[in-house]
């Protein structure tokens, strides 16, 4: 539990569970429609965020991302401390962070704003941020080997189209001249169905060399039979319609890697389901 006077939590919006909390500070990173098995549409989704922000006390503080269009549009008339990548401080953060990607610079700006509210000096905050190496299944890097082929794995929990896009862009930013592969496991039939077009756009536009999309990870108790019948990974691959994007069942992925990797590649294993278990097949 710790002994600090501060308690920091990640407040989850699924089933509006974050309405159980009454925080003194809310850091709002973005508002992007998700959890279609619960939220009917974006309007319904945003209404939950409005309720959550209303939980702030009179002396509470909202720290929000000005670069996120839904966040800014929803709360632009509310008193808030806004942060943006357009700030000068973002350049400094990009230089000191050990984790790549614009979204991580944005998150670090949020940390700075929060720390300032808590009267923590920028010197201390910047020192801590410069040492942060990420967390489990969030751009988690490991050296790996299979059939004497050496390469690097990046495990990532990303399962929303925007997470896929910005994470793969960050991989390319860090490894400019490397061959980059992505093994992606869609998470939940309803998310894949309702965000289908967004997934297509994400994979059409990311600058990587090979994408393997495996079967959708089903979430017990959160799927509808009529949706399961309408969508699958093969349909997604067909809609993306790119030569470097293929479908493979999970059991065939390892043999495919053995036959096709040359060594030295960056292999991103991405998804919120059990796809990370592929790690067991590699030597670290």
Note down pLDDT in tens along the chain; length 284 residues: 788 889 999 999 999 999 999 999 999 999 999 998 899 999 999 999 999 999 999 999 999 999 999 999 999 999 999 999 999 999 999 999 998 889 999 999 999 999 999 999 999 999 999 999 888 888 899 999 998 899 999 999 999 999 999 999 999 999 999 999 999 999 999 999 999 999 999 999 888 999 999 999 998 888 889 999 999 999 999 999 999 999 999 999 999 999 999 999 999 999 999 999 998 899 87
Bridge partners (DSSP) of residue 156 are: 270
Identify the helix (H) or strand (E) that includes residue 70: helix 69-75
In the chain, residues under CATH classification 3.40.1190.10 are 14-131
Q: How far apart are CA 179 and CA 167, in angstroms?
A: 15
Q: Whole-model pTM? A: 0.81
Q: Which residues are CB-neighbours of 259 under 8 A, at least 6 positions away?
A: none
The superfamily CATH assigns to domain 140-281 is Mur ligase, C-terminal domain (3.90.190.20)
In the chain, residues under CATH classification 3.90.190.20 are 140-281
pLDDT value of position 32: 92
SS3 (DSSP) at 139:
coil
The superfamily CATH assigns to domain 14-131 is Mur-like, catalytic domain (3.40.1190.10)
């Amino acid at each position: 539990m710790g002994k600090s006077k501060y308690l920091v939590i990640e407040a989850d919006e699924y089933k509006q569970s974050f309405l159980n909390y009454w925080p003194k500070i809310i850091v709002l990173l973005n508002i992007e429609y998700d959890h279609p098995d619960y939220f009917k549409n974006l309007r319904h989704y945003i209404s939950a965020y409005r309720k959550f922000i209303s939980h702030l006390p009179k002396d509470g503080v909202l720290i929000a991302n000005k670069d996120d269009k839904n966040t800014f549009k929803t709360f632009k008339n509310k008193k808030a401390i806004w942060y943006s990548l357009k700030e000068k401080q973002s350049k400094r953060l990009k230089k000191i962070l050990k984790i790549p990607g614009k979204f991580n610079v944005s998150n670090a700006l949020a940390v700075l704003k929060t720390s300032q509210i808590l009267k923590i000096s920028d010197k201390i905050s910047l020192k801590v941020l410069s040492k942060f190496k990420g967390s489990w299944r969030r751009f988690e890097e490991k050296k790996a080997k299979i059939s004497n082929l050496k390469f690097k794995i990046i495990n990532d929990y990303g399962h929303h189209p925007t997470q896929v896009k910005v994470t793969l862009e960050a991989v390319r930013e860090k490894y400019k001249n490397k061959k980059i592969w992505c093994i992606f496991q869609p998470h939940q039939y309803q998310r894949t169905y309702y965000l289908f077009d967004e997934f297509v756009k994400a994979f059409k536009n990311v600058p990587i060399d090979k994408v393997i999309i495996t079967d959708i990870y089903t979430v017990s108790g959160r799927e509808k039979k009529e949706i399961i019948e309408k969508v699958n990974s093969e349909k997604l691959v067909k809609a993306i319609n790119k030569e470097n994007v293929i479908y493979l069942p999970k059991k065939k992925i390892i043999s495919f890697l053995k036959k096709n990797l040359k060594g030295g590649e960056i292999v991103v294993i991405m998804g919120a389901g059990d796809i990370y278990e592929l790690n067991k097949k590699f030597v670290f």
